[in-house]
């Protein structure tokens, strides 16, 4: 692609063309007024997940995950798409690390594929799988990028699911065993590890409703998977430290919950949803108890029935950081209690219902864009947990945009720039209010497999043509690169 004067003004050229330095207009995309300075040492980065980018699902001894199996079921993924190739990162990782180096990030959050490292989820270790992450780690460090692995970003080995998956207590112990295998290979070079990504989503979409793998629709019975994941986190926390890991964190997706009105019924419904979404995956870790408001779901004060004596002590071992993924708030009202006709089968009833959030821009996914919701969530966490809240990393934040190259092959994703700009300012606001935030990681480096949406939602700073696997940095890539560069050396 030539870098010529007739190219559209206002959009940078990052093509790998001699003489085209990719600088033409990106410098003008730094925000005005500029984003306030963040403290020295604040980590800027990007996040990805193995199943969404790696592909190579049958290579070098990798086993099936629940997502491989799920994708094979007709009708569950948009247009029947799969993660078989994804962004082909398993083969193109040097190019992807070169992109990260051009961005100038300090931290790269990625996930390790359990079925690549331990294909059956227990027993034999697959050395080529470990070798892949070993090479990746060394290449990141060579570029001065700090690797931050997540052990579990939803790709449970299928044989474990066949034995009950996260409904089975034993899976928590298998997870800790796998954590040791990974840490024994990589902990010498990687200080900070994340155990789980968004266990709420696994429980809600994977096991309660079934829109995600493994596609179970167990409704409230799925709460056992919340406890077993938390137990897995606690067991892995201890195992990682024993294997030499210095810092352990967990990542949750948080959503400020807005009651639809001040009506006591709506407030109660909002508190119930907040318990389920936000508190269930945080209170046990930071307060060593399940939230009392889970009673709205028939849960007793000691948590789900599957809790054993001693579990909460394991789960509440100290963590060094809390990963916060934020996308949007949630609005909740009391359920409408229309009595079903006598002939209708009994429906499991939930003590809340979702309401649309109107009056905000929406992403291509239809998610409302509410930067202030991130400030609200962070200050809520700080108020709720006080001194027990560890330092926070924003481990995911970003948006999908209907990005397609224009006639010049460029992707001018101004909505993403506005989104990131607003949310980074929202982080600054929370920090000004006293919340200890240490880093901000954009979801995501490059377009990828967006779960049940297949390749239809593009969240990347880098566009991926999934036919050719060509990577093209979007305008937001240059914007973020310039933001990171402009933050270096600035003092708050
Ligand atoms: C989060 C997931 C991540 C990605 C973003 C859009 O919930 O952790 O994998 O799909 O949403």
Query: Exposed/middle/buried for 378, CB within 10 Å: 0-12, 13-18, 19+?
Result: buried
Q: Is-contact 51 153, C-beta < 8 A?
A: yes
* Nearest residue by C-alpha to atom 10 in ligand 1: 450
State the pLDDT at residue 20: 35
- Alpha-carbon distances, residue 116 vs 61, 147, 191, 340 (angstroms): 7, 18, 22, 48
Measure CA of the first residue to CA of the last residue in the chain; give whole Å. 40
**Residue whose CB lies within 8 A of the most ligand 1 atoms, among 151, 324, 328, 451, for a mutation test:** 451
Alpha carbon of 443 to ligand 1 centroid (Å):
8
pLDDT tens per residue, range 404-454: 999 999 999 999 999 999 999 999 999 999 999 999 999 999 999 999 999
pLDDT tens per residue, range 361-372: 999 999 999 999
**447 touches ligand 1 (CB under 6 Å):** no
Alpha carbon of 273 to ligand 1 centroid (Å):
20
Is 376 catalytic? The answer is: no
* Residues of the chain where predicted confidence (pLDDT) is lower than 50: 1-28
Q: Phi first, then psi: what are they for 357, rounded to 5°?
A: -100, 115
Could you give the CA distance from residue 3 to residue 486 in angstroms, rounded to a whole number? 25
Could you give the CA distance from residue 201 to residue 481 in angstroms, rounded to a whole number? 31
**449 touches ligand 1 (CB under 6 Å):** no
State the pLDDT at residue 34: 85
Q: Is-contact 250 315, C-beta < 8 A?
A: no
Is 268 catalytic? The answer is: no
From the CA of 400, give the closest atom in ligand 1: 6
Query: How much is the pTM?
Result: 0.93
252 beta partners: 324
Q: Could you say which of 198, 376, 410, 450 is catalytic?
A: 198
């Amino acid at each position: 692609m030539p870098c010529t004067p007739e190219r559209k003004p206002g959009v940078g050229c990052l093509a790998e063309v001699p003489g085209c330095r990719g600088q033409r207009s990106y410098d003008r995309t730094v925000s005005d007024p500029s984003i306030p300075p963040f403290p020295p040492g604040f980590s800027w980065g990007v996040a990805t997940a193995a199943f969404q980018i790696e592909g190579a699902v049958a290579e070098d001894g990798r086993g099936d995950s629940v997502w491989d199996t799920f994708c094979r079921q007709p009708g569950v993924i948009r247009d029947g798409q799969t993660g078989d190739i994804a962004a082909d990162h398993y083969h193109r990782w040097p190019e992807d690390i070169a992109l990260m180096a051009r961005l100038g990030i300090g931290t790269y959050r990625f996930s390790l594929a359990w079925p690549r490292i331990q294909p059956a989820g227990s027993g034999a270790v697959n050395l080529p799988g470990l070798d892949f992450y070993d090479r990746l780690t060394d290449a990141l460090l060579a570029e001065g990028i700090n690797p931050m692995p997540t052990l579990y970003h939803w790709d449970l080995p299928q044989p474990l699911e066949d034995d009950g998956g996260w409904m089975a207590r034993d899976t928590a112990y298998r997870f800790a065993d796998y954590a040791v295998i990974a840490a024994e290979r990589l902990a010498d070079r990687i200080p900070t590890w994340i155990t789980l990504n968004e266990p709420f989503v696994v429980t809600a979409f994977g096991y309660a409703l079934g829109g995600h793998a493994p596609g179970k629709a167990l409704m409230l019975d799925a709460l056992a998977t919340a406890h077993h994941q938390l137990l897995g986190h606690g067991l892995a926390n201890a195992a990682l430290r024993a294997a030499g890991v210095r810092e352990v964190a967990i990542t949750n997706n948080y959503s400020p919950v807005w009651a639809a009105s001040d009506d006591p019924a709506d407030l109660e419904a909002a508190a119930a949803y907040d318990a389920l979404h936000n508190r269930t995956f945080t209170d046990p870790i930071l307060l060593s108890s399940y939230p009392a408001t889970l009673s709205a779901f028939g849960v007793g004060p000691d948590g789900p029935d599957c809790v054993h004596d001693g579990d909460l002590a394991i789960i509440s071992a100290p963590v060094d950081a809390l990963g916060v993924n934020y996308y949007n708030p949630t609005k909740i009202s009391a359920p409408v209690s229309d009595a079903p006709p006598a002939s209708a089968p009994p429906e499991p009833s939930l003590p809340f219902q979702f309401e649309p959030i109107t009056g905000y821009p929406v992403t291509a996914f239809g998610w409302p864009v509410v930067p202030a919701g991130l400030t609200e969530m962070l200050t809520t966490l700080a108020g709720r947990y006080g001194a027990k809240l560890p330092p926070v990393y924003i481990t995911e934040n970003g948006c999908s945009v209907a990005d397609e190259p224009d006639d010049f092959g460029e992707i001018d994703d101004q909505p993403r720039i506005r989104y990131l700009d607003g949310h980074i300012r929202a982080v600054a606001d929370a920090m000004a209010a006293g919340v200890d935030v240490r880093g901000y990681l954009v979801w995501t480096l490059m377009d990828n497999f967006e779960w049940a949406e297949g390749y239809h939602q593009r969240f990347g700073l880098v566009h991926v043509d999934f036919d050719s696997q060509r990577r093209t940095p979007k305008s937001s890539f240059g914007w973020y690169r310039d933001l990171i560069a402009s933050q270096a050396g600035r003092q708050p």
